[in-house]
Amino acid sequence: MFDFLLSEQGKMRRHAANWLEVADRVYKFRRDELTEVQNQQLLAKSGELRLRLKEKADASRLKLAIESLEDVLRDTGGRIYPTSSLVENVEFFLVAAIVILGIRAYFVQPFKIPTNSMWPSYYGVTHESDAPGEPAGALRQAWRFLTLGGWHYRVDAPADGELLLPVFADGTVAFTQVPGRTAFVFPTTKREYFFRVGGEDARIVIPGSGATTEDFRMEKALHDMLEQHGVLGNVQQTVGNLSSRRRSPGVTDSVLTFTFGGQRAERRVYWIPTGRTVKRGEPIMSFDLLTGDLLFVDRITYNFVRPKVGQGFVFHTRQIPDIGEDQYYIKRLVGVPGDTLEIKEPVLWRNGTPIDGADAFDLNGRRSGKYRGYFNAPPAGRDSRHYLFSGEVITVPTDSFFALGDNSAESRDSRYWGFVPAKEVVGKPLFIYYPLTKRWGLAN
């Protein structure tokens, strides 16, 4: 790689060493197939070149010895020499793949934060709304894609008029599932949302998101859009009335066909007047979806050192029955065998005192910045049927750990599915290498 830094003499000595390596391979792998004369010639020419190297011969003498050895190798090399560029490339990539797989299996593993359960310590998929009138030019989009993994989404008004938002009877924003592809290749399911302006519909398709609040939800982007234009309160009140089976003035309804889970069905939607007037071609909403944090996981340390309370840790879920899937999760370790744990909102207590060992504990305990504290029960609207721990003191059993997300309000963690078997721990977060934000660097 750095041959350009070498002198002519240095380059020739490196070439000579490479030729001797090829000759040694030929002799080791083909000497039983070669005649005695061929073996003697190969050894003689190799010995001559090796002697020139030992004598520190000049470049011209080394070149003559290399050419002499090359003549013999053409006669004796078989499939080893001469080697085609295709074979060399295949061999190189095969060796590289083996090395990478070995490193990934035993030392360092790449990992993508799948949800926002550890937010704001680690980010899952998030969104950033464009400010009204902010240009979303091609250069800006390209830059945000390269540095933040941002995909831009925008939907424009099809006509002049008031923006109407469709919701179901329970107050959730209406959407339908449509087929799509990930990376333009792999089939997947996406979500299509729609708006109505002046009697015409405008549609936007985004990646399919989970039913839980751990994933990006379109409602978050809609909340930003409505708040930016000063109409959020009115819309929330109108939707709240609808959920209470009271219809506000101006709300109309219609029956539309939707697709969920591959099944088509008719459902009634209610058109909520937002109070926002838009013009044809004006953006109804414009935002970027930003990739979750990509980081390296240290797989070797926990083979020798026991995980410590306060550390983020990655583990397999295959032995956790209430999860039911073989995935990798990342949470924060809050309890080891023998620990007693209790949540006195917003503080997490361990062994009778407020827990320490990580900045996230203190920040959550004070509800500082973006940290919202620890919660005993799921927030309003979350399914609490499988909530295991609700205010009582619990004790962590032998060979188990207790895991919580830093984003307690939106994290499905040990409060829902119980303890993490110690043998399922994979490693600890090491380094966030993408996106290129202030979080880039050593993981906390």
- The sign one gets for the Cα dihedral 207, 211, 214, 219 is positive
Beta bridge partners, 343, equal 348
Which fold, 294-442?
Answer: Umud Fragment, subunit A (2.10.109)
- Provide CB contacts within 8 A for 233, sequence distance 6+: none
Q: What pLDDT is stored for residue 211 in this prediction?
A: 36
Give the start-end residues of each E strand in 134-199. Answer: 151-156, 161-167, 175-182, 186-197
- Say which CATH class 3-83 falls into: mainly alpha
Radius of gyration of the chain (CA): 32
Q: What pLDDT is stored for residue 383 in this prediction?
A: 54
Quick one: tokens of 444? Answer: 């906390």
Quick one: tokens of 148? Answer: 């933040």
| 361 and 348 Cβ atoms separated by less than 8 Å | yes
Q: What are the mean pLDDT values of the chain's consecutive 10-residue runs (444 residues total)?
A: 63 86 88 89 90 88 88 82 58 70 78 90 90 78 91 94 94 92 79 95 82 62 93 92 85 93 93 95 92 93 93 94 88 97 94 96 96 81 60 91 94 92 95 94 88
Q: What pLDDT is stored for residue 386 in this prediction?
A: 58
Q: What pLDDT is stored for residue 210 in this prediction?
A: 45
CB neighbourhood size of 266 (10 A): 8
Query: Would you give the end-to-end CA distance of the chain in angstroms?
Result: 36
Q: What pLDDT is stored for residue 193 in this prediction?
A: 95
Tokens 């390209």 sit on residue: 142
d(C-alpha 424, C-alpha 422), whole Å: 5
From the list 403, 312, 402, the residue with the least C-alpha distance to 360 is: 312
Q: What pLDDT is stored for residue 424 in this prediction?
A: 95
CB neighbourhood size of 442 (10 A): 9
Is it true that 3-83 and 294-442 share their CATH fold?
no
d(C-alpha 400, C-alpha 421), whole Å: 5
Extents of the domains making up the chain? 3-83, 126-290, 294-442
Total-model pTM: 0.72
| 146 and 137 Cβ atoms separated by less than 8 Å | no
Q: What pLDDT is stored for residue 92 in this prediction?
A: 64
